[in-house]
Structure 1
Amino acid sequence: MAALNPYLNFDGNCEEAFNFYKSVFGGDFTNLTRFSDVPKEYQASPTDGQLVMHVSLPISDGSVLMGSDRPAYMGAITKGDSCYLSITTTSEEETQKLFNGLSAGGKVLMPLDKTFWGAYFGMFSDKYGVLWMVNYDYNQHS
């Protein structure tokens, strides 16, 4: 079966953001490649050398959060509100841990609470502008 893995682009602070995500999810990066690590003929600019070309952080069985910095030659990043990263958890405790950890320094859009549709759910924008939903479905765990 295919796996869907979110890929985030940053404007020079990818490593900082992924260290933050790592502090919340735990685990280790399976890949952290900088633009300076690629062969010279593929390097666009010497000033981009310390930017992250690719990083991978496994966050559960089969789910990997990936990202990179976007060098200036690729154009500016436009952040929008048309996409959320949705996390389905296995307990209220895990839901609280991830919601509280990832929303720290960000903006809560919908506080974590029990909902009329049978879930423990909340939404927020993290301190890097990434939109998240965290959901624990009571109906699937009774």
Structure 2
Amino acid sequence: MPNTFIEPYLFFGGRCEEALDFYRTALGAQVDILLRHKDSPEPPPSGMLPPGFENKIMHTTFRIGATTLMASDGCQEGMSFSGFSLSLSVPTEAEADHAFAALADGGQVQMPLTKTFWSPCFGMLTDRFGVSWMITVTTNPS
């Protein structure tokens, strides 16, 4: 399957815009595409969206570093992220410290940043939206 790749698609249940703003600040995310439900050329089927979701994000594509992620508010309130983690690889401990602290703000740390046998600095957390992250320094200092 040449030229095949996987891009995570996250559903934030009504908090997508808040999440985008958070990832812009925390990780320097850059939004490439942002479409709202109200901008769709075709209206959603009756009853598909809760009241007030017209202004919510139907689809967005954003980048963190070289990785593209997609997201949406979905078609219902509430969200649940389980069974996966986003792994953020950075070249320095300073970048790991910065990203970890920013993502942990309002979230929950599962494993503080520490030296491991595979990385000079690794940690795990769940951010304020319930997204699980693993932060890894990919290079050993010389």
Count of residue pairs brought into register by the alignment: 137
Structure-2 residue corresponding to 1:121: 122
With structure 1 as the length reference, what TM-score do the two structures score? 0.84
- Distance, in Å, in 2 between the alignment partners of 1:27 and 1:130 is 15
Larger mean Cα displacement after TM superposition, 45-54 or 102-111: 45-54
> Using the alignment, how far apart are the partners of 1:77 and 1:18 within structure 2?
15
> Mind listing any 5+ residue stretches in structure 1 that lack a counterpart?
none
Identify, as 1 or 2, the structure richer in helix. Answer: 1
- Corresponding letter in the other structure for 2:65: S
The gaps in structure 2 that reach 5 residues or longer are none
Structure 1 segments of 4+ aligned residues over 4 angstroms from their partners: 43-46
Aligned pairs for 1:44-59 within 5 A: 44-45=48-49, 47-59=52-64
Q: Aligned-pair RMSD on alpha carbons?
A: 2.2
Q: 1:54 to 1:99 in 2, by over 3 A?
A: same
Identity rate, percent: 36
What's the offset of the Cα at 1:70? 1.5
Give the C-alpha shift of residue 87 in structure 1: 0.8
Structure-2 residue corresponding to 1:90: 91
2:69 to 65, 71, 75: 65
TM-score where L is the length of structure 2 = 0.84
CA apart distance, 1:56: 1.8
